[in-house]
Amino acid sequence: MSRVVIFVNGVLPNLESAKKILRPDDFLLGVDGGAHLIMELGLMPHLVVGDLDSLSEDDLYELGAADVPTNQYPSDKDETDLELGIQHAIELRPSSIVVAAALGGRIDQTLANISLLSDGLLSQTDIRLDDGVEEVFFCRRGAKVNGNIGDVVSLIPWNGSVGGVVTSGLKWTLNNGTLFPHKTRGVSNEMTAETASIEIQSGLLLVVHRRLET
C-alpha cells in the first residue's frame, strides 16, 4: 500500500495547505472527529476508528450513506484514538504514515501525539505529523527535510542528549556536534537549500519543520 494519512480531531491551521500534502492514492483514515475534517476537504475517509464521540449525527449519516467502514471503541479505554489509528495504519503495511491535525490546540494532546512517534516499534516506519504548515518527525540515524529556502527547522533532543550531529543545507551547520535537552542550540535554524540533511550517531532527535510558503 502507498501512504496512509490519518486525520485526528485536532487543528488544521489552513485547509488549503492541508490539501497540498495529500496525494490521489492516499488511504485516508479518520480518527473520530478527524473524519469530519476529511469531509471538510471535500473527500471521504476510507476507514474511521475511535470512540466516535466527536462526530455529529449528520457526520455519521454521511459516513453511513457512503458505506465507510467504522471500527468503534468504547470511550473508557487506555489508548487515545490516535494511538488506535496508528495501530490500524501499521496493519495496512503502508509505505509511510502522515498524521494530520495533531499539532496545536491542547498542549497535553500535542505532546502525547509527538510522544507516540517515539515508540521504538515505529523505528522502521516513516511516520510524521504534518498539518501542511508544520511537520514533525523523529530522526534516529539520518533524515532529510524537503522545503524551501528560508523555512525554519528546529532540532530538539528527545529523552537525553543527541551526539554526532552533522547537518547540511541549514544556515547554522553542525559537524559532529552534540545537542543537549536543557539547551536551545538547535532551535530556529533556517534552510539554505530545498533539502536539508541531518545525521546523528546517538540519541533521538525531534525535527520540527515550519514552512514559510504553503
Q: What is the pLDDT of residues 185-209, one digit of tens each?
A: 999 999 999 999 999 999 999 999 9
Banded pLDDT at 214 (limits 50, 70, 90): low
Which CATH architecture best describes the domain 134-214? 3-Layer(aba) Sandwich (3.40)
Class of residue 32 by CB neighbours under 10 A (exposed 0-12, middle 13-18, buried 19+): buried
Identify the pLDDT of residue 130.
96
Query: Could you state, in order of their start, the residue ranges of all structural domains in the chain?
Result: 1-132, 134-214
Average pLDDT value over all residues in the chain = 94
Q: What is the pLDDT of residues 123-137, one digit of tens each?
A: 999 999 999 999 999
Identify the pLDDT of residue 199.
98
Element (H, E) at 83: helix 81-91
Q: What are the backbone angles phi and psi of residue 211, rounded to the nearest 5°?
A: -80, 135
How far apart CA 37 and CA 43 sit, in angstroms, is 9
Q: Is residue 173 predicted with pLDDT exceeding 80?
A: yes
Q: Is residue 180 predicted with pLDDT exceeding 70?
A: yes
Are 1-132 and 134-214 equal in CATH topology?
yes
The CATH fold assigned to 1-132 is Rossmann fold (3.40.50)
How far apart CA 68 and CA 55 sit, in angstroms, is 14
